[in-house]
Chains A and B, each alone.
Chain A
Amino acid sequence: MRTLQGTPGSPGVAVAPAWIFSRAALDLPEEPVEDPDAEVERLRDSAEQVAADLDARAAKAEGELAEVLEAQAMMARDPEMIDVAAEAVRKERTPAARAVVDAGETYAEALQSSESEYMAARASDVRDVCARIARRLVGADDTFSQMSQRSVVVADELPPADVGELNRDLVAGIATAQGSRTSHTAIVARALGIPAVVGLGEVEVDPTDEIAVDGDSGQIFVQPDEKTRSEIEGRAARAEDRRRHLIERAASLEGDTRTRDGHRIEVAVNVATEVELKAGLEAGAEGVGLFRTELLYLDRTNAPSRAEQSEAVRSLLGLLDGKRLVIRTFDFGADKPVPFLNLPSEENPAMGVRGVRLARDQPELLDDQLAAIADAASSGDRIAIMAPMVATAEEARWFVERVERAEMEAEVGVMLEVPAAIFMAEEIAEVCDFLSIGTNDLTQYLFAADRQNGRLGSFQDHFAPALLRAVKTVCDAADGRAWVGVCGEAAADPLWAMVAAGLGVEELSMGPEAVLEMRVSLSESTMHGCRAAADAALQASDAGGARRAAEDALG
């Protein structure tokens, strides 16, 4: 047995035979070709067909994925790469499929040796494009359609074009050498509920190997020994039992989520992409509590057009069919790369010109986004718009006025993630329809503890009494003025959610994978119990104590 450590990409465990997704899975012909000119012709035709196919996929995709696919289409048409491959066909009589893979490899290797993460990612884009052309040349089926039994997909990196085609009945788990928790593969795997480990560095396995994936610890086991195998199988079986049990318990749920004593608590989903929204709705999400719009802007050399932004909003509204969509206006600054803005670098970007601060600095950016949202809205849609990083009531007023000027029917709110805003929640609630507490950033700022710094991880416990008291302060201040939601990671924890409901939170928004369990847990609770849990947790002096107190109070 070999154990490899990577990054947890999507929770859960699975054991299954490896299904290797790479150009190695392709049987490349070796026989010298008889008619090089005809072979070059085939090469050019296949490359053009692949480029056209990628263009078509790009047209259907959105945001970052669309741009990656467009860049890949350009790679398939790359005049230099095609010439290099064509020369190998003419001079060495190399079959075109092999020639194009070899040509791509010389570029990919050069890119991979770059220190930049961007470039390494482009190396896998190049390999993917050349493998697609080769597959077309040898008449092989496209990628996942060849998979016939339930398997763990092992890949260097799953190309964006293929991630969307993952079939959760056949793909038991995913293990990739590249990628991080925020890469496209991880996002889609979480949305589909497929266990995944990413960023393994290197995964060398044989097609005959059995692979155990532990998406919770971020480990994979190649040819697991009996003990590991049965442990993983046991966990997988228990998870499956729990899932089945959840579905059974959820079967009686209809429509809105209510506690047993009849209090409505809205369970919503956090999304950046359509695939997450589809998964959330399937699990019964009652709306979107946080639409992160940054994907449209990041890594771009020019601002996304109003039409493009509008289309992204419209695609979500179409799926929501009258359910509420809470849109967070762009939340970036020096902490995230937005090339077209040319923002000066800052000493301390987490506390710099970001969110609503950047919007005030460059109001035309915000106006453009608001106009795009207004374009997307039609009658019957329920839209809510909120500003990130609001610190003062004056900023909240400014934002509300800006949205009013865009002339659309929408609720207007702000995110509460800056401690100063907690203390001014009453004044802020006066001018808003709703307040949404972003627990991740709020915790970071409350404790002055960088959330990216692993050594300070213990500060990120959402049961910290300081955070619970902040939530209570907000709920008390907003009472009768505005509704309160929570959209941080804390909102995905059923026990925490019950405490929050007891404090007065009316809406909880979480990743799609957490929606079903949350609806079931809240439906089986009572508001009476939630309030008792909240009172008990508030009295604790540390996070562990607060968690235990809440558990005890709920029995």
Chain B
Amino acid sequence: MPEQEVTLDNEVGLHARPAAVFAKKAASFDCDIKLVKDGNEANAKSIMSVLKLDVTKGDAVTIRAEGDGAEEALSDLVELVGSL
């Protein structure tokens, strides 16, 4: 299953607005998407689940996608995290 590690570089981490933007994008895909940090897994389509991971600046996270359009979802989300 396609997955890729990215390092978060924005000032406030994956908090509040960035998390909302990320979850909204993830929810636009049909496939299952997970966000993983330190072995903890979050449903990328759930803003609360993403917030709970407490991703801060400099954290390395893995995005994992499975199902229809997984490759496309993965590359879009990796790009999004880079632009946050």
Q: List residues of A (104-119) whose CB comes within 8 Å of B's CBs.
A: 104, 107, 110-111, 114, 116, 118-119
* B residues near A70, Cβ cutoff 8 Å: 20
Find residues 269-300 in chain A having any chain B CB closer than 8 Å to their own CB: 299-300
The contact of A342 among B10, B18, B43, by CB within 8 Å, is: B10
B48 touches A107 (CB 8 A): yes
Q: Which residues of B contact A300 (CB under 8 A)?
A: 17
B60 at the interface (CB under 8 A from A): no
Q: Which of A64-81 contact B (CB under 8 A)?
A: 67-68, 70-71, 74-75, 78-81
Q: A79-B27, A119-B51 are in contact. List 12 more A-B contacts (CB 8 A).
A: A68-B16, A74-B23, A74-B47, A107-B48, A107-B49, A118-B13, A118-B15, A119-B15, A119-B54, A301-B21, A339-B18, A342-B9
Residues of B1-39 whose CB lies within 8 A of A: 9-13, 15-21, 23-24, 27
**Cβ of B46 < 8 Å from any Cβ of A?**
yes
- Report which of A68, A78, A110 forms a contact with B46, defined as CB distance below 8 A: A78
**Cβ distance A50 to chain B, nearest Cβ, rounded Å:** 14
Q: Which residues of B contact A (CB under 8 A)?
A: 9-13, 15-21, 23-24, 27, 43, 45-49, 51-52, 54, 56, 84
Complex contact B48–A126 (CB within 8 A): yes
Residues B15 and A122 in contact, CB atoms below 8 Å apart: yes
When the two chains form their complex, are residues B48 and A337 in contact, meaning their CB atoms are under 8 A apart?
A: no
Q: Is the CB of A74 within 8 A of B20?
A: yes
| A67, B49: Cα distance in complex, Å | 19
Chain A min CB distance to B41 (Å): 11
The residues of B that contact A71 with a CB separation of less than 8 Å are 16-17, 19-20, 47
* Cross-chain contact B12 with A80 (CB below 8 angstroms): no
Q: Known: A67-B17, A116-B54, A339-B18. Is A299-B47 also a contact (CB below 8 A)?
A: no
Q: Which residues from B are CB-within-8-Å of A116?
A: 13, 15, 54, 56
Residue of B20, B46, B51 touching A79 (CB-CB under 8 A): B46
Q: Which residues of B contact A299 (CB under 8 A)?
A: 12, 16-17
Cα A337 to Cα B17 in complex, Å, equals 13
- Please name the residue on chain A nearest to B52 by beta carbon: A110
| Docked complex Cα distance between A299 and B19 (Å) | 12
CA distance A67 to B21 in the complex (A): 11
Q: List 9 A-B contacts (CB under 8 A).
A: A75-B47, A81-B48, A107-B48, A116-B56, A119-B15, A122-B15, A122-B51, A339-B10, A339-B84
CB distance from A427 to the nearest CB of B (A): 37
- Per-residue CB contact flags for chain A residues 118-147 toward chain B (1 = under 8 Å, else 0) read 110110001000000000000000000000
Complex-state Cα separation, A107 to B13, whole angstroms: 18
Q: A80-B43, A116-B15, A116-B56 are in contact. Are A301 and B49 (CB under 8 A)?
A: no
Count how many pairs of residues, one from A and one from B, have CB atoms less than 8 Å apart in the complex: 81
Q: Kindly state the separation between the CA atoms of A343 and B20 in the bound complex, as whole angstroms.
A: 22
Closest residue of A by beta carbon distance from B84: A301
B84 to chain A, nearest CB (A): 5
Shortest Cβ gap from B7 to chain A (Å): 14
Rounded to whole angstroms, the CA-CA distance of A479 and B40 in the bound complex is: 66
Chain A nearest Cβ from B44, distance in angstroms = 10
Residues of B within 8 A of A114 (CB): 54
Interface residues of A in 53-102 (CB under 8 A from B): 67-68, 70-71, 74-75, 78-81
- The residue in chain B whose Cβ has the minimal distance to the Cβ of A107 is B48
Q: Which of A79, A107, A301 contacts B10 (CB 8 A)?
A: A301
Chain A residue with minimal CB distance to B21?
A301
| Complex contacts, A339 vs chain B, CB 8 Å | 10-12, 17-18, 84
Output the least CB separation between B45 and chain A (Å).
6
Q: Which residue of B lies closest to A104 (CB)?
A: B48
Neighbouring B residues of A337 by C-beta, 8 Å: 11-12
Checking B16, B20, B21, B49 against A118 with a beta-carbon cut-off of 8 angstroms, the contacting residue is B16
Please measure, in the bound complex, the distance between the C-alpha atom of A460 and the C-alpha atom of B17, giving whole angstroms.
35
| B12 and A118 form a contact (CB under 8 A) | yes
A80 to B24, CA, bound (A): 13
Chain A residues whose C-beta falls within 8 Å of the C-beta of B21 in the assembled complex: 301-302
CB distance from B20 to the nearest CB of A (A): 4
Chain A residues whose CB sits within 8 angstroms of the CB of B10 once the complex forms: 301, 339, 342
Cα–Cα distance between A339 and B51 once the two chains are bound (Å): 17
Per-residue contact bits, chain A 294-336, to B (CB 8 Å; 1 contact, 0 not) = 0000011110000000000000000000000000000000000
Q: A343 to chain B: which residues have CB within 8 Å?
A: 11
In the assembled complex, the Cα of A80 lies from the Cα of B49 at a distance in Å of 7
Closest A residue by C-beta to B22: A301
Among candidates A79, A111, A121, A338, residue contacting B45 with C-beta atoms closer than 8 Å: A79
Quick one: which of A71, A116, A126, A337 has the most chain B CB within 10 A? A71
Q: What's the least CB distance linking A349 to chain B, in Å?
A: 12
Contact of B52 among A79, A107, A118, A121 (CB under 8 A): A107
Contact across chains for A107 and B45 when beta carbons are under 8 A apart: no
In the bound complex, how far is the Cα of B20 from the Cα of A109, in angstroms?
Answer: 19
Q: How far is the CA of A377 from the CA of B34 in the complex (A)?
A: 47
Residue of A nearest to B46 (CB): A80
- Cβ proximity bits A333-372 to B, threshold 8 Å, 1 near / 0 not: 0000111001100000000000000000000000000000
Residues of A within 8 Å of B48, CB to CB, are 75, 78, 80-81, 104, 107, 126
By beta carbon, the residue of chain B nearest A125 is B16
Q: Which residue of B lies closest to A113 (CB)?
A: B54
Q: Which residues of B contact A75 (CB under 8 A)?
A: 47-48
Which residues does chain B contribute within 8 Å of A81, judged by CB atoms? 46, 48
Residues of chain A with a CB closer than 8 A to B17's CB: 67, 71, 299-301, 339
CB contacts (< 8 Å) of B84 on chain A: these are: 301, 339
Chain A residue contacts of B47, Cβ below 8 A: 71, 74-75, 78
Alpha-carbon separation in the docked complex, A116 to B15 (Å): 9
Question: Which chain A residues border B23 with CB–CB below 8 Å?
Answer: 74
